[in-house]
Structure 1
């Protein structure tokens, strides 16, 4: 007996429906990882950045792809910021050619763009971050393709950021305990309207105690929400309604496209230089962010 097209469509929809449900409610399964077990960066997974663009934030470092800034040893990735004259592209977003710039500092940044990206999942890293006025380590994600337009229209997911750890600040409960900066930040950036007005959502928490300074920083990213945690404790959550554009219907956009990973250690920039003791302190250098592992799981 031959079924009608409408009947076949209904059967197909019913068959697919449980699969969609399982994808959102099943257990996490690791789909990608780097344990940094070798003696050099795995270039099949990562591409080192090399530019003096300042991250679009007036950061003072130039990123370089040499062992002073990026190294893997003893089962650990190390991204290090040092004081060193460095020359590179002033505007890397315009392409591989263009005006050059010389900076006073060098540091490391690695990205998975073009090699690995994911739509939804649990993205986590075990890391130890440095402190000092002007020191800005980050583990974050950007869209593989700018489907909705340039930043911030296509979104940004910041898994971990700290700025000026240990620098003076006003104590409020467990925040800035002892009058010293101790916050961890998790944030998403997106557009408030079609014109691209910037908006953000997320939160911060006090850095938990740790005998060795390492913590596991993570986001869980689904169509409905993005949550941030440190050492398994959730501290911030953004739901669809929090990133809905003022002129658009509610929905998962722009966080409904694949994003790639970025690890970097910046020095200076508008945020750290405008906070805490203000400016930047060269005595914080050299500064190193150590990453034990990075893992991506999906349902």
Structure 2
């Protein structure tokens, strides 16, 4: 048997192990990091560790979720529902239904204003059989057509002719002999003048005062005796000309001018352009514009209230053919290019044109201006009568279509020698005409709206 002192020594040796000393030269290797998700030593019973001392031998155990199991948490709000809770669903549904109802009404109301018109064909011209004189009239004048235009219009094949199944309207230079010497052009003598005014039929060159005959020749054709419509559609497929100071136009005038002389009876400009290039500040052959003219006199023409331009996309209207169209009814009028979806000008006949114009009470002389339209009771007046179609290529002019001082304009509108100044600068502008200084028209179509003119 061991003595008390020996038992004490043995017990101490068992419970307190003696660590061997480590030489200072020996490198101590750090112990590996303990897995934070492993179960701590003290939480494992000694019987499971195999140690009689109860100290845990490290064992890795994965983390287990201690989420509350479904159904174990009380939810008293499910046992008793709030009576106002149903409105959280009802109110949004009501809002959706009301929105759908309003949308349906607006669509229905909009459709009531859209009239699907039926049409009767009036003209379908492709020029395959030449130029039909029963439809087309070549206007012959030297008066400048109220705009101070520089061209005289002829009825010769030099300026209007059919080639390759298309109508060509081509401006040409005047005979220099008629400009450099005293000459007179009298269209009354040969009976070719189509104007009833003598000043539009006679002109001359006077070398003393500097006046000259029209420096260029061109053509202007109309359908006044062959085709006209009161409400309907027009489509002209054409290529615009390329050249400085050219002024192509596709437009309409009234057959009978029921409400008085221009602009009382109106004018419809489907498409107008300029032959200058895109650098022209007012727009060259990359731009077409549409407008309507109306007013109690020429000094009070309200065309600017409806003038709209459309630019060609990455090209010009002289590079290829385009369809220039008009749709016109008793309620509205609009022009378009190529498709009715590409509208240029839109005019709604929703109020009298006298009201639209906001004209002054009197003219510059103090004479009171009189409303020439409202007595009809129709908001479309003066655009409620037969109109005919005109195709032409003008040159220059003194009405402001080409602004003074822009793009090297060689004349001034107010100058009495405007025509001669233009002629003297021909070495600058005539080379720009090249081979494309003409309007080429492939087809012209006109339809009459049913219910009018016997349609």
TM-score band by shorter chain is 0.7 to 0.9
Q: Could you tell me whether the CA contact under 8 Å between 1:168 and 1:181 is conserved in 2?
A: no
Residues paired across the two proteins, number: 269
Q: Within 5 A, what are the aligned runs for 1:193-272?
A: 193=296, 197-200=300-303, 201-208=306-313, 209=315, 213-232=320-339, 233-241=342-350, 244-246=353-355, 247=371, 249=374, 251-270=379-398, 271-272=400-401
Structure 2: tracts of 5 or more residues without a match: 1-111, 179-184, 204-212, 356-370, 411-421, 423-428, 450-455
Quickly say closer, same or farther: Cα 1:243–1:167, change in 2 above 3 A.
farther
Question: CA 1:292–1:257 in structure 2 vs 1: closer, same or farther (change >3 Å)?
Answer: same
CA contact (8 A) 1:34 1:294 kept: yes
Aligned pair partner of 1:187 in 281, 291, 299: 291
CA gap of 1:97–1:164, structure 2 versus 1, over 3 A, is: closer
Distance (whole Å) between structure 2 residues aligned to residue 269 and residue 78 of structure 1: 22
Alignment of 1:123 onto 2:234: yes
Task: Note the C-alpha offset of 1:99.
Answer: 5.7
The answer on 1:70 being equivalent to 2:160 is yes
Task: Tell me the equivalent position of 1:12.
Answer: none
Q: Which residue of 1 aligns with 2:402?
A: 273
Shift of 1:225: 1.4
- Which deviates more from structure 2 when the two are superposed, residues 200-209 or residues 131-140? 200-209
The structure-2 alpha-carbon separation of the partners of 1:242 and 1:262, relative to structure 1 and needing over 3 Å to count, comes to farther
Rounded to whole Å, the distance in 2 between the matches of 1:225 and 1:126 is: 23
Secondary structure of 1:245's partner?
helix
Which residue, out of 248, 251, 262, partners 1:137?
A: 248
**2:438 — aligned with what?**
288
> Unpaired runs of 5+ in structure 1?
1-20
Secondary structure, aligned partner of 2:323 = strand
CA distance in 2, matches of 1:31, 1:242: 29
- Per the TM alignment, residue 212 of structure 1 is displaced from its structure 2 partner at its CA by 5.2
Which of 1 and 2 has greater Rg? 2
Other-structure match for 1:169: 280
The higher-RCO structure (CA 8 Å, 6+ apart) is 1
SS of residue in 1 equivalent to 2:431 = helix
The residue that corresponds to 1:94 in the other structure is 196
CA distance 1:289–1:242, shift in 2 (3 Å): farther
Q: Which residue of 1 aligns with 2:418?
A: none
Deviations 1:169-206 (A, max 9, x none): 35xxxx96xxx652101110001x47972111231110
Distance 1:194 1:107 in 2: 28
Q: 1:293 to 1:243 in 2, by over 3 A?
A: farther
Which digits, 9 at most, give the CA deviation of each residue in 1:244-281, with x for residues without a partner?
A: 11446461110000001111010101344326413462
Q: SS where residue 127 of structure 1 aligns?
A: strand
- Structure 1 residue 235: deviation in Å? 2.2
In the aligned structure 2, how far is the partner of 1:97 from the partner of 1:181? 32
Query: Of Structure 1 and Structure 2, which has the larger fraction of its residues in strand?
Result: 1
Inter-partner Cα distance in structure 1 for 2:173 and 2:327? 36
Q: Return the structure number with greater helix share.
A: 2
